Protein backbone atom coordinates (compact mmCIF):
# COMPACT_ATOMS: atom_id res chain seq x y z
CA UNK A 1 0.00 0.00 0.00
CA UNK A 2 1.16 3.53 -0.76
CA UNK A 3 -0.26 6.67 0.83
CA UNK A 4 -0.22 9.98 -0.97
CA UNK A 5 0.38 12.89 1.40
CA UNK A 6 -0.39 16.27 -0.14
CA UNK A 7 0.20 19.62 1.51
CA UNK A 8 -1.56 22.58 -0.03
CA UNK A 9 -0.90 26.26 0.31
CA UNK A 10 -4.40 27.66 -0.01
CA UNK A 11 -5.74 31.18 -0.25
CA UNK A 12 -6.98 31.90 3.31
CA UNK A 13 -9.96 33.73 1.83
CA UNK A 14 -10.89 30.63 -0.18
CA UNK A 15 -10.92 27.95 2.54
CA UNK A 16 -14.69 27.42 2.11
CA UNK A 17 -14.19 26.98 -1.65
CA UNK A 18 -11.30 24.59 -0.94
CA UNK A 19 -13.62 22.53 1.27
CA UNK A 20 -16.06 22.15 -1.64
CA UNK A 21 -13.14 21.01 -3.81
CA UNK A 22 -11.92 18.61 -1.10
CA UNK A 23 -15.34 17.02 -0.61
CA UNK A 24 -15.54 16.37 -4.35
CA UNK A 25 -12.24 14.46 -4.41
CA UNK A 26 -13.09 12.03 -1.61
CA UNK A 27 -15.58 9.99 -3.73
CA UNK A 28 -13.46 10.51 -6.85
CA UNK A 29 -10.46 8.80 -5.26
CA UNK A 30 -12.75 5.94 -4.20
CA UNK A 31 -14.12 5.70 -7.74
CA UNK A 32 -10.65 4.79 -8.96
CA UNK A 33 -9.86 2.24 -6.23
CA UNK A 34 -8.29 4.43 -3.58
CA UNK A 35 -9.12 4.94 0.07
CA UNK A 36 -9.37 8.57 1.12
CA UNK A 37 -8.36 9.36 4.69
CA UNK A 38 -9.67 12.90 4.54
CA UNK A 39 -8.65 16.48 4.08
CA UNK A 40 -7.45 18.54 7.00
CA UNK A 41 -8.16 22.26 6.80
CA UNK A 42 -6.75 25.21 8.74
CA UNK A 43 -8.01 25.49 12.28
CA UNK A 44 -5.50 26.30 15.00
CA UNK A 45 -2.54 26.46 12.65
CA UNK A 46 -1.28 28.40 9.68
CA UNK A 47 -4.34 29.77 7.89
CA UNK A 48 -3.05 28.74 4.47
CA UNK A 49 -2.18 25.08 5.12
CA UNK A 50 -4.36 22.12 4.13
CA UNK A 51 -3.43 18.44 3.99
CA UNK A 52 -4.87 15.40 2.21
CA UNK A 53 -4.09 11.72 2.72
CA UNK A 54 -5.28 8.88 0.53
CA UNK A 55 -4.01 5.40 -0.22
CA UNK A 56 -3.84 3.05 -3.17
CA UNK A 57 -2.77 -0.59 -3.21
CA UNK A 58 0.41 0.33 -5.12
CA UNK A 59 2.15 3.18 -6.88
CA UNK A 60 1.04 1.64 -10.18
CA UNK A 61 -2.64 1.86 -9.19
CA UNK A 62 -2.09 5.45 -8.08
CA UNK A 63 -0.51 6.27 -11.45
CA UNK A 64 -3.49 4.63 -13.20
CA UNK A 65 -5.85 6.80 -11.12
CA UNK A 66 -3.88 9.92 -12.07
CA UNK A 67 -4.02 9.08 -15.78
CA UNK A 68 -7.76 8.34 -15.65
CA UNK A 69 -8.46 11.49 -13.63
CA UNK A 70 -7.36 13.61 -16.60
CA UNK A 71 -10.06 11.95 -18.70
CA UNK A 72 -12.93 11.82 -16.17
CA UNK A 73 -15.55 14.57 -16.46
CA UNK A 74 -16.04 14.94 -12.69
CA UNK A 75 -12.30 15.12 -12.06
CA UNK A 76 -11.88 17.68 -14.82
CA UNK A 77 -14.70 19.73 -13.28
CA UNK A 78 -12.92 19.64 -9.89
CA UNK A 79 -9.63 20.74 -11.49
CA UNK A 80 -11.45 23.58 -13.25
CA UNK A 81 -13.25 24.64 -10.04
CA UNK A 82 -9.90 24.96 -8.25
CA UNK A 83 -8.46 26.94 -11.13
CA UNK A 84 -11.48 29.25 -11.44
CA UNK A 85 -11.54 30.01 -7.70
CA UNK A 86 -7.73 30.23 -7.38
CA UNK A 87 -7.90 28.24 -4.17
CA UNK A 88 -4.55 26.44 -4.41
CA UNK A 89 -1.41 28.53 -4.54
CA UNK A 90 0.86 25.48 -4.58
CA UNK A 91 0.95 21.88 -3.47
CA UNK A 92 3.56 19.26 -2.66
CA UNK A 93 2.97 15.54 -3.05
CA UNK A 94 4.86 12.83 -1.15
CA UNK A 95 4.36 9.09 -1.05
CA UNK A 96 4.55 7.27 2.24
CA UNK A 97 4.34 3.67 3.38
CA UNK A 98 1.86 3.32 6.24
CA UNK A 99 2.49 1.35 9.40
CA UNK A 100 -0.95 0.10 10.43
CA UNK A 101 -0.32 -2.68 12.93
CA UNK A 102 1.33 -2.50 16.31
CA UNK A 103 3.81 -5.06 17.65
CA UNK A 104 5.94 -4.72 20.78
CA UNK A 105 8.02 -7.85 20.13
CA UNK A 106 10.54 -6.30 17.67
CA UNK A 107 11.22 -3.51 20.19
CA UNK A 108 11.57 -5.97 23.06
CA UNK A 109 13.92 -8.14 21.02
CA UNK A 110 16.03 -5.15 19.98
CA UNK A 111 16.28 -4.03 23.61
CA UNK A 112 16.91 -7.54 24.95
CA UNK A 113 13.72 -7.42 27.01
CA UNK A 114 11.65 -10.45 27.92
CA UNK A 115 7.97 -10.87 27.09
CA UNK A 116 5.55 -9.79 29.81
Terminal-to-terminal C-alpha distance of the chain:
32
Query: pLDDT by residue (tens digit) across 71-107?
Result: 999 999 999 999 999 999 999 999 999 888 888 888 8
Query: What count of other Cβ atoms lies within 10 Å of the Cβ of residue 87?
Result: 22
Find the mean pLDDT for residues 33-55.
92
What is the DSSP code (8-state) at residue 7?
E
Enter the CATH code of domain 2-111. 3.30.70.100
Sequence ranges of the domains in the chain: 2-111
- Gap between the Cα atoms of 22 and 6, Å rounded: 12
Q: To the nearest whole number, what is the mean pLDDT of the chain?
A: 93
Least reliable range by pLDDT among 7-16, 35-44, 59-68, 98-107:
98-107
Q: Which of 9, 2, 17, 7 is closest to 81 using CA atoms?
A: 17
User: Structure pTM?
Assistant: 0.83
Amino acid sequence: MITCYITYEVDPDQVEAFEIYAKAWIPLVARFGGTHHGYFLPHESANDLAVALFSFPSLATYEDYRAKSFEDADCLAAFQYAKDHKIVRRYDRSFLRPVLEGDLEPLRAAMGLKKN
